[in-house]
Structures are given as C-alpha cells and as structure tokens.
Amino acid sequence: MSQKAKDPVCGMDVEVEGNELQITYGGNTYYFCSKICMEKFEKEPGSYVKSGHDCCDKQDGHHAHGEHGSHHHHHKGHSC
C-alpha cells in the first residue's frame, strides 16, 4: 500500500514515494500535486500551514469566530 499525503495548497491526495514535488518547512515535509501548487506554497507557506499555536489553529488554522466574543489577531509577537 502506497503512502499518501495531502497537498496543503489544493487539498488533493498525492503519492509520497518518488514524489519530487516536496518542501520541508517548519520541520515538516509537504508534498504537492503540481509545480504550480508547490510554487504557491513557496511564496506564502504560512498561508497553508498551521502556526503551531493552539489558540490560533482552531478550525483549520483560523480562529473559531463563534467561540469568542470578538475576533483577535495576534499572530505576530505571539503571547499564548
């Protein structure tokens, strides 16, 4: 059985073995379905991967708006 990974840009399942379309970012390796998706990721990797802060990663990397009275942006200079 072959190992699959999810392309962080388009969400497509892609083969891991033999896939040269890959980037290591933040200690993780990400695999891509095409050079286009890989180039989009290279330009703005933070748009496609979670921050690593639990308070920021609710609901696929975005704040859960319903959980808080208001939406707070505190990604830079983080103080979790």
Cα distance between residue 39 and residue 44, in whole Å? 9
Q: Indicate the pLDDT class of residue 50, thresholds 50, 70 and 90.
A: confident
**Domain encompassing residue 42:** 4-53
Q: Would the pLDDT of 79 be above 50?
A: no
Which of 61, 71, 76 lies closest to 9 in space, CA to CA?
A: 61
Q: Is residue 69 part of a domain?
A: no
pLDDT digits (tens, 9 = 90+) for 54-70: 555 444 444 444 444 44
Count of beta carbons in the 10 Å neighbourhood of residue 43: 7
Q: Is residue 70 part of a domain?
A: no
Q: Is residue 61 part of a domain?
A: no
Q: Is residue 80 part of a domain?
A: no
Which of 52, 8, 63, 56 lies closest to 27 in space, CA to CA?
A: 52
Residue 31 CB-density burial (10 A; 0-12 exposed, 13-18 middle, 19+ buried): buried
